[in-house]
Amino acid sequence: MGKKLSQDQIEHYKEKGYVSPVDAFTREQAAGYLKELESFEASQGRQLTKGFNFKPHLLFPWVDSIARSPAVLDAVEDILGPDILLFHLSVWPKNAHDSAFINWHQDATYFGLAPSTQLTVWVALSDAPVEAGCMEVVPGSQKLGQLHHGQNHTDNILLSKGQTVDVPFDKSHTEFMPVSAGQMSLHDTFLVHASGPNTTDHRRVGLGFSFIPASSRCTSKTRLTASLVRGKDHGNFDLETPPVVANGEAERALHAEAVRRFRASNDEQAAAY
């Protein structure tokens, strides 16, 4: 038994590469978070989607508080151990009847981590059933290690570089990870996964937190930033400062620099691929 996950869930994660659904927040808390996100979007006149969807934990205390909550970190610790960094965070909202989708990919691609140990926690702020385009995974595919990816820059592909596995792999057996508002899923950095269009009448919104053990480093020349969310630092990243004022001036400056470095590192890794 772990701090949050049962022994069966931990074994399932090791064998299949994911565990889902896991209760994290109440529906009311999730609705409150979604309201925060949408009132910010309304104030800016734009959505937190492709191009504007990286590292919002540096802008909004409510996002930072999710990343540091025991509900999330106890589960992460059960898999990664006690010293934990938040390496990255992306938001991929899909509006009602949105054709946007995410191709088959592995999160490790272009991260350049050594060792390549990383887990993504996807926290649902609204319901994400199969029809709304929840994630679909190839169970056990994390054991394949890094597969080759190409890039597909079609508009309605949500990943920033449209990275897509471009070698044959067996997808004759897949599983969906439907999650209700307030629940989360966890998946391994090498798990092959995708998500389809949203065919429902409601907006599907989730936050994808990328956690790594603090002992991991990034092989890029660009020195990256990360947030120490639990345990002790191992000195491999410049530590991010949690936001105090939502979208404040200092917060915006730190956020812009962290995102600049993350994109530069991704470009380096993609160029060397």
Nearer to ligand AKG, 160 or 215 (CB): 160
b/e sequence 209-234, b meaning 16+ C-beta within 10 Å? bbbbbbebbbebebebbbbbbbbeee
135 binds ligand AKG (CB under 6 A): yes
Question: Rounded CA gap, 154 and 156, in Å?
Answer: 6
Q: Does 195 bind ligand AKG (CB under 6 A)?
A: yes
When asked if residue 49 is in the footprint of ligand AKG (CB under 6 A), the reply is no
Instruction: With beta carbons less than 8 A apart as the criterion, state whether 107 and 118 touch.
Output: yes
Total binding residues for ligand AKG by CB under 6 A? 10
Q: Least separation, in Å, of the C-beta of 244 and ligand AKG?
A: 27
Minimum CB–partner distance for residue 158 and ligand AKG (Å): 7
The answer to the question of residue 190 lying near ligand AKG (CB under 6 A) is: no
- Residue whose structure tokens are 């994109």: 263
d(CA 156, CA 68): 32
Q: Contacting ligand AKG (CB under 6 A), which of 67, 75, 76, 102?
A: 102
Residue 129: cis peptide before it, omega within 30 degrees of 0: no
| Shortest Cβ 209–ligand AKG spacing (Å) | 8
Q: Which is nearer to ligand AKG, 120 or 251 (CB)?
A: 120
Does 92 interact with ligand AKG (rule: CB under 6 A)? Answer: yes
Binding to ligand AKG (CB under 6 A) within 111-130 occurs at 120, 122
Burial degree of 129 (CB within 10 A; 0-12, 13-18, 19+): middle
Question: Among residues 8 and 166, whose Cβ is nearest to ligand AKG?
Answer: 166
**Contact in structure between 18 and 188 (CB atoms under 8 Å):** yes
Question: What is the DSSP secondary structure assignment for residue 240, as one 8-state letter?
Answer: P
Query: Per CB under 6 A, which of residues 201..230 are in contact with ligand AKG?
Result: 206, 208
- Residue 54 interacts with ligand AKG (CB under 6 A): yes or no: no
At a CB cut-off of 8 Å and minimum separation 6, what does 229 contact? Answer: 67, 68, 73, 84, 85, 86, 211
Residues that bind ligand AKG (CB under 6 A): 92, 102, 107, 120, 122, 135, 193, 195, 206, 208
